[in-house]
Amino acid sequence: MVEASPKLSVRDLTVRYGDKTALDAVSLDVLTNEILGIIGPANSGKTSFLRALNRMEEFDPNMTVQGDIFFEGQNITAIRNVYALRRKVGVVFPLPVGLPMSVYDNVAFAPRLAGIRKRAELDVIVERCLTRAALWDEVKDRLDALGSLLSGGQQQRLTIARALSQNPELLLLDEFSIAVDPVTTMRIEDVLKELKHEITIVLVTNLVQQARRLADRTAFFLQSELVEIAETEELFTGTVQDQRTRDYVEGRFG
Amino acid sequence: MPADVQTDARSSGIAHDLNTRGRAWYIDRAVSVGVFVGGVSAIVFIVGIFVFVTREGLDFVIGPMDAKEFFTSINWRPTSERNPTYGILALMAGTASVTGLAMLVAVPFSLGAAIYIAEFASGKMRESLKVLVELLAAIPSVVWGFVGMTIMNPLIIEFFDVAVGLSVLNAGVILGLMAAPIMTTIAEDALKAVPDSYREAAEAMGATRWQVVFKVVLPAAKSGLMASVLLGVGRGFGETMAVLMASGHAINLPTSPFDSVRALTATIAAELGDTARGSDHYGVLFTLGIFLFVVTFIINLTADIVVKGVGRK
Amino acid sequence: MSMFARTPLDQHNRRIEWLVKTLFLMMTVLLIIPVALIMSILIYRGAPALSLEFLTQVPTNGMTAGGIMTALVGTIWIVTVALIASVPIGVAAAVYLSEYAPDNWLTRAINLAIINLAGVPSIVHALFGLGAFVVFFGFGRSILAASLTLAVMTLPVVIVSTRESLQAVPHAFREACWNMGATRWQTIWRVVLPNSISGILTGVILEVSRTAGETAPIMFTGAAAFLPFLPQGVLDQTMAMSLHLYVVATQVPNVPEALPFGVALVLISMVLVMNAMSIAFRVYLRNKRKW
Ligand SMILES: Nc1ncnc2c1ncn2[C@@H]1O[C@H](COP(=O)(O)OP(=O)(O)OP(=O)(O)O)[C@@H](O)[C@H]1O
Ligand SMILES: [Mg+2]
């Protein structure tokens, strides 16, 4: 089911904000075409992990990253074109951001950056991505509405559609369902399960059950450290697990 | 690269993508260099001002200038054939008296207006007052000078029964009216910068609005208010046309507000046109320029430090 | 802290409250009334001079008769050339400071330079323009020299207002674009500028009004007291409204009384109309919510 070759190899990844360590020497692999779930209590460093994968330390002078990240064997700090990296990595963060342009332009933004100009081609991409993000039915009649004035949940799904429009090899989702109702969440989850045949997904979630439903393997972060990473079923039911993981998945803290 | 990370043929396409800088990359780099030049130009210009003004004034400074006479003599006779003297004391007194009076007019009114706009006025009233203040700040200084000559002048003669109405009083009031809108705007910004939580905390303890303003808001905004006054001083000090036209432009150590005076800035404006490049007179006017530059630089720097002091606390 | 007594707001306090409020209101009004008076006097005494001929004719009879056409056109020349010089530099500087500049000593130095550039007296700018553009660069007394002087002088206006408009665009939009692989410039061009262009324009209009009213910086760099003809290019001298007001008010004998008032009225109307436009534009923008 899961190919053995890693899409992404992370070695001794440490993330700091000023003096504060948000992630401490984490090493793990993300395998091609798997969904890797990451769970852990608040402030355990999950979001910081995702930010480092897209080299977002460049947006925040306060953030420093140490260690190595290999994307398909390429050390991402050594590559010559970080923009190409970010185009191959789609990200969705918990705060939804609809850009102040039409819904259509929001979704066509990345394809246009990639040089796609033909309206017909863009139309196809926009419809496909919005459909996958479970937003198409709601906005298909007002594609020229401002993306930044949609409701919070709609903007969240617009953000997902934008990430998909990049045609990414790696999709990083950070609590994507935080502002989305349960039924719509299920629809998106189904899409993710299909998508994983084409791409690799890292799913950070506060909902332990979501990780259990979707993830092939799951990693547990606690206080800036990776406690353990295992096949999801093992992590949730197996015997070979850390006491702290068991406490967390069984809801004893967090 | 760790041993367990393998590169295979499949990823070589990706390696190519991640290491190829396309057009967008180079455009971004070119733009970043271009806008950097734009940013640095501000430094180039401020240095350029100093360099070019000094360049024209240098011959005078290292040549005939007598620093003691320059700062302590009240005799400004640059055009005298036999014995030209270049004392700027009277000019400094002129600038100081006019600026001083202007601040007397402007400080209370602009602070009062700022407090009203920031703390008492509400909604539409507040917006309209801000717009009005902004419009006042836009009136050109030559128009103010004209007002001083044609409207204030007869008023002062009539009202105080004096012979000339072009005086410290006239220029000071005009300058005060000119500086007040800008000071109001800056002071209002300073008051608005005081967090609402301060006001709410004081109000929760039962303080009335004016108690809040005097005991909490004003002390908290102190540095910003001081900066607004300093910038007003800088503005008055550097103002040219209005002072030239309204002060009477006579060399004088003023003893009353009804005396005519002459300001440093106005002297340059009035005399530069009649001088030949390279002459001592031309040189001394540029030397005045250096002096004005240095003093305003210090005033602005001080205001900046005063404001930054707030941020650090 | 006994000031903040726990007693309820009593009659006495309420009266003081009212007094204080009224006092501050009076001060605000006293700031505005003289200006309102001045404006009415300018209009009352300047209006008789105004006519279509006043705007379209050349000054005659040693500037004691005729119109102000040459000064009006000259001011338009000076303002236009100054804008062409300052807007690109100012916008570039603002884009650098808002979008690219790291927080280091150089950025602090640039900010300090901008503050000081705004604080340098206009007459010192005039000396600079004379020493640099007229003499050193050899433009002579010309529209070019005068406009460049004004461009340097009003640069801080453009930089500060542009930077404010750029920074009014929330940071989250930029991060969203960067995360899709957009370069800084692509982000600026496709998201930041389209959403701040109107704010930038507001600042430019403000700069125009500043530029049109300045006198001292152009006196020795390119504006002439009297010229019977229009400039043919940027290396010509020209008349200008602001200097014309100074000249007819102070240098020319036997000017009919209404004439300088008419000049002042036209000048101030130009400036205030542009300012009002800029303000109206801003209010309109504020009401047009995009996020
Ligand atoms: N931009 C930032 N600047 C400074 N500190 C930060 C920043 N982002 C995160 N931190 C800090 O780093 C630590 C890890 O935060 P992170 O967001 O990675 O945790 P998380 O596991 O995603 O938490 P949550 O489940 O609440 O989203 C926290 O202590 C947080 O306060
Ligand atoms: Mg998080």
Say whether both B54 and B123 belong to one domain. Answer: no
Say whether both B95 and B42 belong to one domain. Answer: no
Closest to B113 (Cα-Cα) out of C192, C23, A73, A203: C23
Structural domain span for residue B15:
3-63
Q: What superfamily would CATH give domain A6-249?
A: P-loop containing nucleotide triphosphate hydrolases (3.40.50.300)
CATH number at residue B157: 1.10.3720.10
The residue with tokens 């050109």 is B140
Q: What is the pLDDT of residues A204-234, one digit of tens each?
A: 998 999 999 999 999 999 999 999 999 999 8
Does B291 reside within a domain?
A: no
Does B70 reside within a domain?
A: no
Mean pLDDT, range C200-211, rounded to an integer = 89
Residue B274, C-beta contacts closer than 8 angstroms, at least 6 positions apart: none
CA distance B262 to C232: 38
Residue to mutate (ligand 1; options A13, A16, A17; most atoms within 8 A of CB): A17
For residue C120, the SS3 value is coil
Say whether both B54 and B167 belong to one domain. Answer: no
Tell me the residue length of chain B.
313
Does B68 reside within a domain?
A: no
What pLDDT, on the 0 to 100 scale, is given for residue A238?
Answer: 75
- Would you give the DSSP letter of residue B194? S
Query: Which residue, of B45, B63, B81, is where some domain finishes?
Result: B63
Say whether both B136 and B266 belong to one domain. Answer: yes
Say whether both B42 and B161 belong to one domain. Answer: no
CA distance C257 to C203: 36
Considering chain C, what percentage of its residues have pLDDT values greater than 90?
69
Taking a C-beta distance cutoff of 8 angstroms, is the pair B105, B173 a contact? yes
What pLDDT, on the 0 to 100 scale, is given for residue A2?
Answer: 44
C-alpha distances in Å from residue C216, one per residue of B80, B109, B266, B268, C152? 25, 28, 9, 10, 14
Distance B308 CA to ligand 1 centre (A): 30
Nearest-CA residue for ligand 1 atom 7 is: A17
User: Chain A: nearest CA to B308, how far in angstroms?
Assistant: 21
- Would you give the DSSP letter of residue A91? E
**Among chain A residues, CA nearest to C104:** A61
**Binned average pLDDT, 10 residues per bin, chain B of 313 residues:** 46 82 94 97 97 94 88 90 90 96 94 93 88 89 95 95 94 95 92 90 85 90 91 92 95 93 96 91 95 94 80 43
Say whether both B162 and B128 belong to one domain. Answer: yes
Say whether both B41 and B190 belong to one domain. Answer: no
Q: Does B45 touch chain C (CB under 8 A)?
A: yes
Does B290 reside within a domain?
A: no
Mean pLDDT, range C125-131, rounded to an integer = 97
Does B266 reside within a domain?
A: yes
Taking a C-beta distance cutoff of 8 angstroms, is the pair A170, A88 a contact? yes
Distance A206 CA to ligand 2 centre (A): 9
Q: How confident is the model at residue C7 (pLDDT cuts 50, 70, 90)?
A: low
Say whether both B112 and B55 belong to one domain. Answer: no
What pLDDT, on the 0 to 100 scale, is given for residue B3?
Answer: 44
CB-count burial class (<10 Å; 0-12, 13-18, 19+) for B310: middle
Does B302 reside within a domain?
A: yes
CA distance A105 to A86: 19
Does B190 reside within a domain?
A: yes
Does B25 reside within a domain?
A: yes
- Would you give the DSSP letter of residue B275? P
The region, left, alpha or beta by phi > 0 then psi within -120 to 50, assigned to residue A43 is: left
Tell me the residue length of chain C.
291
In chain B, the number of structural domains is 2
Taking a C-beta distance cutoff of 8 angstroms, is the pair A192, A183 a contact? no
Domain segments of chain A as ranges: 6-249
Tokens of A105: 């332009």
**Residue B292: which of C99, C121, C186 has the nearest Cβ?**
C121
**Residue B18: which of A5, A6, A84 has the nearest Cβ?**
A84
Q: Which residues of C107-118 are buried (b: 16+ CB within 10 A; e: fewer)?
A: eeebbbbbbbbb
What pLDDT, on the 0 to 100 scale, is given for residue C290?
Answer: 81
CB-count burial class (<10 Å; 0-12, 13-18, 19+) for C43: middle
C-alpha distances in Å from residue A236, one per residue of A253, B244, B265, B301, C82? 15, 86, 82, 64, 71
Q: Cβ–Cβ of B21/A81 closer than 8 Å?
A: yes
CA distance B207 to C20: 14
Nearest-CA residue for ligand 1 atom 16 is: A45
Distance A116 CA to ligand 1 centre (A): 36
Q: How confident is the model at residue C4 (pLDDT cuts 50, 70, 90)?
A: low
CA distance A54 to A69: 10
Q: pTM of the prediction?
A: 0.91
